[in-house]
Amino acid sequence: MEKENPIEEARRYVANAEEIIKKAEYDPELKSYTDSKYIKTAGDVLWKGCLIALDALLHVRKGKGRPSIEKYREAAGKRDRKLLNSVNIGYDTMHLSMGYDGNKDKRVCDAGFANARDIIDRCAMMMPAHASA
């Protein structure tokens, strides 16, 4: 599925992350989740979904090894300033704050989901019609 329609695959990752975060207990008084395990997992899944969309648009994965965030930033900056801004925010929110730190603040998690959708939608909009359909 990933090679045929990377945008739909990326959106599937967001849907999977939504299912993961539903498992986390939420304390409405604190506006916070109680277990960082689910936050970390959801953040990782969100960021991986974004990378699928970014890879389809930017073609950063060439050669051996994994591309660094700097390569994504460079490629995004050459294409679109708004995409670059979303990548910077997404990396910080989804990958670092959620994925590594397990930030349990619901506002941070909500921002991560919103940013993932923004990145994927922007990639879809910038791709040729046949590639993102």
C-alpha of 11 from chain center: 10
Q: Structure pTM?
A: 0.90
Provide the pLDDT confidence category of residue 73 given band limits of 50, 70 and 90: very high
Mean pLDDT, the chain, integer: 92
pLDDT in tens, 18-41: 999 999 999 999 999 999 999 999
pLDDT at 130 over 50: no
| 58-87: average pLDDT | 91
Closest C-alpha among 133, 116, 129 to residue 52: 116
Closest C-alpha among 55, 77, 75 to residue 66: 55
